[in-house]
Amino acid sequence: MRKQHIGLLYTLPQILWLLVFFAAPLCIIVIYSFLKKGLYGGVEPQFSLEAYTAMANPNIVLVTWRTLKISIIATTLTLLIALPCGYSIARSRNQAIRLFLVIVPFWTNFLIRIYAWIAIMGNEGFLNDILRALHLTTESIQFLYNQTAVILVLVYMYLPYAILPLFSTIDKFDFTLLDAARDLGATKFQSYIHVLLPNIKSGLVTAGLFTFVPIFGAYAVPLLIGGKDSYMLGNIIADQLTKTRNWPLASSISMTVTVLTTGLVFLIAMRKPREQKQVFDVDPAFLQATPDGER
């Protein structure tokens, strides 16, 4: 009993921190989402489901779908790029240097890196300068302010979060298994699909979550890089909070995003360690019938 009390004491700072900075704000958002909207922002202390019914607004539904679509595309692209990156780092002789290069961008502020992309892709930006210098175009090409640009920058932003968990899983992978697969008749591609991928599934899932969850709540990238066609849920929440001043609606959308993403995480975490595909279908009775004496 005493020991348990001491354990509780050790975790007290953690618990306090989480209560004040996580649980309390979350509760406030939950409560706000069920209250009536105040006239000039804020809330009226009166129960209402208005904020949730208001989400049926076709505009919000559209943006929800778009957010989902952008998140899925960006996550898929990130994983497709991160997988070979992680693999090559894991198999390389100078892992430390390559990992360092992956982490280097973190030293620059998130927003500054977004502005860097604006500087590269803007109408008077680096890319257009080069194209003009090569006489490939006379007019500036509009690279920014569309979905493609948003996806590109999102992929860029979250690539390290996918490369790192993939690297650490692939680094533990026994590469002789690939030799074995080749030896048993698999082509190089087949050996990756049938042997490498199933054995690094946990790394893929982690990398996927690390990219999908933050991208689903993206705000700054679509705001600065995107245009009308790339408004995401994060932007709507901010608008409701600061422009339209509908705090309950901002809260209810936030709740939806939170529930959806935590739901996804739970689904994956709680999933039973899935049995491998049951291609094996020898009748147990058949096994039992084999007399023991024969072996």
Cβ atoms of 249 and 55 within 8 Å: the answer is: yes
Smallest distance from the beta carbon of 182 to another protein, in angstroms? 4
- Measured CA to CA, the distance from residue 30 to residue 163 in angstroms comes to 35
Q: Indicate whether 94 belongs to the interface with another protein (CB under 8 A).
A: no
Which candidate, 242, 249, 247, 252, places its Cα nearest to that of 219?
242
Task: Out of 35, 195, 215, 232, point to the residue binding another protein (CB under 8 A).
Answer: 195
Smallest distance from the beta carbon of 284 to another protein, in angstroms? 8
Smaller CB separation from another protein, 32 or 87? 87
3-state class (DSSP) for residue 273: coil
Torsion of CA 134, 137, 140, 145, to 10 degrees: -100
Task: Out of 39, 56, 279, 285, point to the residue binding another protein (CB under 8 A).
Answer: 279
41-49, 64-72, 190-198, 253-261 -> range binding another protein (CB under 8 A): 190-198
Q: Indicate whether 19 belongs to the interface with another protein (CB under 8 A).
A: no
Q: Indicate whether 170 belongs to the interface with another protein (CB under 8 A).
A: no
62-70, 96-104, 187-195, 220-228 -> range binding another protein (CB under 8 A): 187-195
Both ends of the chain: CA-CA distance in Å?
54
Q: Quick count: other Cβ atoms within 10 Å of Cβ 250?
A: 23
Cβ atoms of 261 and 213 within 8 Å: the answer is: yes
- Write the DSSP symbol of residue 228: G
User: 293 is written with which tokens?
Assistant: 């004496």
Q: Indicate whether 190 belongs to the interface with another protein (CB under 8 A).
A: yes
Q: Indicate whether 184 belongs to the interface with another protein (CB under 8 A).
A: yes
User: 196 is written with which tokens?
Assistant: 């490498």
Smallest distance from the beta carbon of 185 to another protein, in angstroms? 5
Q: Indicate whether 172 belongs to the interface with another protein (CB under 8 A).
A: no
Binding site for another protein (CB under 8 A): 174, 176-177, 179-188, 190, 194-195, 198-199, 276, 279-282, 287, 290, 295
